Amino acid sequence: MTIEMDMIQTIGLAVILLLIGRYIRSKVYFFQKFAIPAPVIGGFLFAIIHLVLRLTDTCAFEFDTTLQSFFMTIFFTSIGFGASIKILKIGGPKVIKFLIVASVLCVLQNILAVALAGPVGVEPGLALMTGSTPMTGGHGTSAGIAPLVEAAGITGAETVAYSAATFGLVMGSLMGGPLANKIILKNNLVEKKKLEKDIEVDESILKEENKVLDGKKVQLGFFAIIVAMGIGVYISAFLNGQIAKFTDKAALPIYIGPMILGILFRAISDKHDNFLPNEEIAIAGELGLNLFLSMALMTLKLWQLVDLAVPMLILLAAQTVLMALFAYFVTFKIMGNNYDAAVIAGGHCGFGMGATPNGVANMESICDKFVYSKMAFFVLPIVGGMFIDFTNVFIITVFLGFFA
């Protein structure tokens, strides 16, 4: 028996699973500790139930995921609005340096995935779903990229990407603290930190003010996103038309144009009294993320993992080793070779294999044991929350263009 759900029924179920995920997360410490998103919890739970129902020949589900693309584009457009060039300039050299470091890791994660594709016996496009898409990108970028790869004919891309992203959340959280601990103790960095003068940073740009939500601003924020989406898709089409003149192996996702337009709108707003409601735009983006993630996870075809289990384990083990080595030898060295750099390296493990909240959680546990690092808590949230998704999407697109 096949149960078919139309567009409205599908989004309705996605919201129910999102709320179930929130409830489970509030009750289970494991999910809180490793910052597993509520839509991932609810969506995976349903995917497991669907797997059991399918294997026992009880029933199967078919969904109309039309709205998934819409909510996905809302989320990525909001990332464009969040990428403030003004804040990047205020952040100074450390922020720019860490953005470059994090972007280099994205490139290496994809190179490693492609390099191991042959030896483990999977297509390069599928192997890339264990690269920077789920690692640095997390579930959000995975849900944006993997369906496009699956639609291109690479079976299992979505399932692999989401599973890899969940693995990354856990491993990144587990390895960050011990790695930073080793660096700090080996180099006696706490004592050196006490002798250093704290570098002044403008933390005001990270402060969240408690504001009463204004209905008109909420509408304006949502409308700004929709306008950027509507015009931005033409930018995507134009860019893809230009790319097609040179190669048929590369194409930009539809949300690239809206992201670019979002950055442009934000730059204009920053120069003219911040006329855009940035907080409300971020809320709309978060709403889009939660809904499209829930839809993406609940439609997972877990039965596709049966033949991919061993190759996936090898690919993910390799990504774990890469992250550890990169944080230890590259992030720490380039970010200053001092206590602040060690804390950032620990945070980079959570952020480079999972999500920004995991990176921040790693840094909190490190600083709770030793001393606070103002620089680390300034640099990593700016790069992770505002810029890395944008650079990562472009890097992923280039790799997919040549290897998918």
- Distance, CA of 122 to CA of 105 (rounded, Å): 22
Location of structure tokens 């205020």: 90
- Tell me how far apart the terminal alpha carbons of the chain are, to the nearest angstrom: 34
Closest by Cα among 83, 87, 51 to 379:
87
pLDDT of residue 307: 78
Q: What is the pLDDT of residues 365-384, one digit of tens each?
A: 999 889 998 889 889 988 98
Q: Which residue has the higher pLDDT, 120 or 140?
A: 120
Location of structure tokens 């920053």: 270
**Domain ranges (residues) in the chain:** 2-198+214-403
| DSSP letters for 219-279 | HHHHHHHHHHHHHHHHHHHHHHHHHHTT-SS----TTHHHHHHHHHHHHHHHHTTT-S-HH
Location of structure tokens 């194409």: 251
Residue 348 has pLDDT above 90, yes or no: yes
Name the percent of the chain lying above pLDDT 70.
94
The interaxial angle of helices 309-326 and 157-186, nearest 10 deg, is 30
The interaxial angle of helices 339-353 and 93-120, nearest 10 deg, is 40
pLDDT of residue 37: 86
Report the run of H or E that residue 361 belongs to, with start and end. Answer: helix 356-369
Residue 313 has pLDDT above 70, yes or no: yes
Closest by Cα among 320, 369, 317, 307 to 342:
369
Name the percent of the chain lying above pLDDT 90.
57
46: its two tokens: 């349903």
Confidence band, pLDDT 50/70/90 cuts, at residue 317? very high
**Distance from the Cα of residue 379 to its chain's centroid:** 17
Q: What is the pLDDT of residues 151-208, one digit of tens each?
A: 888 989 999 999 999 999 889 988 999 999 999 999 999 887 766 665 555 555 555 5
- Distance, CA of 128 to CA of 148 (rounded, Å): 13
Q: Which residue has the higher pLDDT, 304 or 349?
A: 349
CA angle 350, 141, 320 (to 5 degrees): 35
Q: What is the pLDDT of residues 236-278, one digit of tens each?
A: 999 888 878 876 656 677 888 999 999 999 999 988 888 899 8
